[in-house]
Amino acid sequence: MKSFITLAALFGILSFTSASAIAEEPTSTLVAAPEEARSINSAAAPIISVLVGPNQQLIFDPPYINHVGQGQRIHFDFRAINHTFTESSFEKPCTKIPGAQFDTNFGNFNPDDIPNFKPFDITLESDKPRFFYCKQANRTPNSHCGKGMVFAINVDAWTFEQFQRNAAVDGLPKIKGRAPVVEEDEE
Ligand SMILES: *[C@@H]1O[C@H](CO)[C@@H](O)[C@H](O)[C@H]1NC(C)=O
């Protein structure tokens, strides 16, 4: 917390400095300068980086982010195992939503685990909650999603935990009677 405050203070100083620098530059349109400074600052909002499957683990790291808004860029660095980044819902974490805006499919496989070999970037269009999963081996005992490989945007810790619990139900094979029923992954 202390270091966050320090960092926030530093950013405050930096943006103040750059805004002043821009405002003090000789320019023929003095009135427009502060507006310009503001848009430069918002475009420079730090990109959030998320690791997809670091160290052969079935996780997104961090697993969720909160308080991010329109225009926020998020960078997904796919690692080692063959994963996807696919949009779902809170209720059915391992089921692709109809008309999903994001689904990488299996095109980002990075078997040699080279940092940023095949990354995937998104830019948020709103501050609404969004839910995602890895669809590898879905509805089998090895379902990445069923084992908790889910990611959420604009949720708190409690909501994320519920979402991950829902994933264990949705991603692993459904048990009917004695035999597991393996369902087709929806496309
Ligand atoms: C990645 O996984 C998918 C689904 O299991 C599979 O169809 C595909 O062949 C895999 N890609 C590679 C390059 O192994």
- pLDDT computed for residue 174 by the predictor: 82
The alpha carbon of 60 and the centre of ligand 1 are apart by a number of angstroms equal to 19
Q: Report the distance separating Cα 112 and Cα 106, nearest Å.
A: 15
- pLDDT computed for residue 11 by the predictor: 44
Domain boundaries, the chain: 47-170
- pLDDT computed for residue 182 by the predictor: 55
Per residue in 30-68, pLDDT tens? 444 444 444 444 455 799 999 999 999 999 999 999 999
Q: Report the distance separating Cα 152 and Cα 163, nearest Å.
A: 8
Q: Report the distance separating Cα 84 and Cα 136, nearest Å.
A: 7
The alpha carbon of 164 and the centre of ligand 1 are apart by a number of angstroms equal to 24
For the full predicted model, state whether its pTM sits above 0.85. Answer: no
Point out the ligand 1 atom lying closest to the alpha carbon of residue 82.
Answer: 1
* Residues written for the chain: 187
The encoded tokens of residue 81 equal 């195992």
* Residue whose CA lies nearest to ligand 1 atom number 8: 106
SS3 141: coil
Positions of the chain with pLDDT lower than 70, given as ranges:
1-44, 176-187
| Third-level CATH fold of 47-170 | Immunoglobulin-like (2.60.40)
